[in-house]
Structure 1
Amino acid sequence: MEIAGTADDIFTKSAYEAVYSATKGIPRLINNLVTASLIYAYSKKQKEIDEEAIYQAQNEINIYE
Structure 2
Amino acid sequence: MENIKIKFGLKIKELRKQKSYSQEKLAKLASIEKSYISNIENGSRNVSLEVICKLAKAFEIEIDQLFD
Q: TM-score, normalised by structure 1?
A: 0.41
Question: Which structure has the bigger radius of gyration?
Answer: 1
TM-score between the two structures when normalised by the length of structure 2: 0.40
Higher helix share: 2
